[in-house]
Amino acid sequence: AICLLIDTTFNFLEATLPYTIHYTSHTNTEKIISCRLKVEAALENFFETYAQVREDPNNLNMSNTDSISLNTFLLLVLRLVHVTITAAETSETPGTCLDIGFEQTKESSSMKTEIFKWKDIFFGVATYIGLRPSVGKFLRATKTSLSVLVSAIVALTFRERLQAQSWVYWAPMTTALVSDSSEGGTIRLSFQRLVAVLLGSTYAYIIVLVSHSRLAIGICISLFVAFMGYIKTDAQKEYFAVVCGQSASIITFLSNQEGFEGPNKAVLARTSLTFLGIFIHVFISNLLVPISARKLAKKRVITMINNVSVALKSACDDFCLFIGPSRPHLLPTTSALLIGQQTTSSDKIPFNLMNTLAATEKIADALPALLEEALNEPNFWKSPFIEVKDRYDDISKTLYRIIRNIRFVHRCTTILKAETKLHFALEARQVFSRLHVTLESYSTHVY
């Protein structure tokens, strides 16, 4: 793969060299485009081969020194390819750029920037405050406000029937808490939450109603929570078990302000109001723009693509900044440090590459279960999900491989930066030692 990559790179260089240096006529654009496409195919083959070699168990016993040497060699090869392609594209040779209509897009984007400059100002202020408006946030806020309003109206209207004289606030408070903690939940999780709260609250109400001993109540609740912990081991029932155990615990230990020996009106009232608030939230959230597993899977795939794109750009910028300084008269490390300081000071929100990759990997790990849930959803008027599921699965696997490559490039760049800093530090120390010896010999010669 390395030989193929180097061969195609030099073929691409030979195809563009006569035009860029010697003369400006007789340009074989088709050959240049063909060579450029072969370079892209060789790069793809290179990364696929590298991923297969790295996943081979026989290569896990490689020492750190061998790994550093191998990574340095591979990065130098990639640097050669990068410099060749960049030089060819900078020379404006026809056929070297794969992007068609780039100049037109650039001109139109500059005109749009001048016309809609007020949008940049608005989004800049929103980013500075920490508020980024979006359609999803607006719908979520609308559903939460409507759920809280409806639950408050129902609780005030049926206050006497629910025996909730001083606990009316419990229903809208429960609705607000559930709406805040259930962001991104699907229809299946909403109904699991509803049934879990009903079961846990009913169990707690019966325990407090039947038993008046604190020890017996504690033992029963502990056994119930332990049983829910056992059910939690199943991945499909994990959320149901957690909500059910939490509902029973909250209703039991916060049920009565006068103690367990007092009247049981508070237990019944808070149980009814809790179930009422969650029922209203589930009904409204699934009635007004419901979140299906298919829509959530599409949203998470888009999030993964955006995260990987930003992370790949950050890693490539860091690597290119290290290997290619913007000012030739500066040393690579010095130029990289200077430009890095400028970008750090100008950016208001620092980008954390490793956290972004970790969050994307977490989404990729949970995506297969979400795709299975989306596949089991009823179709109704929607098209079958089986074809889209396979595509989403392929995209997830591809992004996972890209994430591993980004981690590799970032790790190698960090190692090379550290080695370069150490080299220049040792070189400066040797220069200082030579200067000190020279001064001592000069002073001895003078005196």
Residue 158 vs residue 258, higher pLDDT: 158
Mapped onto helix, strand or coil, the DSSP state of residue 410 is: helix
> Given a cut of 80, is residue 103 above it in pLDDT?
no
The per-residue pLDDT for 239 is 81
Dump pLDDT digits (tens) for 417-432.
777 777 777 777 777 7
What pLDDT, in 10s, does the model give residues 346-357? 444 457 888 888
Is 182 exposed, middle or buried (CB count within 10 Å of its CB: 0-12, 13-18, 19+)?
Answer: buried
Per-residue pLDDT at 411 exceeds 70: yes
Percent of the chain with pLDDT over 70: 57
Lowest mean pLDDT, pick from 46-50, 113-117, 365-369? 113-117
Rounded Cα–Cα distance for residues 297 and 135 (Å): 17
For residue range 178-237, what is the model confidence (pLDDT) as tens digits? 666 565 556 677 777 778 878 887 888 788 778 777 888 888 888 999 999 888 888 778
Query: Which run of H or E residues covers position 28?
Result: none
* Cα angle for residues 43, 47, 62 (degrees, 5° grid): 135
Is 60 exceeded by the pLDDT of residue 287?
yes
* Report field, pTM of the whole predicted structure over 0.85: no
Per-residue pLDDT at 334: 38
E strand or H helix that includes residue 188: helix 187-210
Domain residue limits, the chain: 2-98, 135-287, 297-446
Residues 187, 296: contact at Cβ < 8 Å? Answer: no
Euclidean distance between CA atoms 80 and 323, whole angstroms: 10
Candidate from 39-48, 203-212, 281-290, 398-407 with smallest mean pLDDT: 281-290
User: Are 399 and 308 in contact, with CB atoms under 8 Å apart?
Assistant: yes
Q: What is the arithmetic mean of pLDDT over 125-135? A: 59
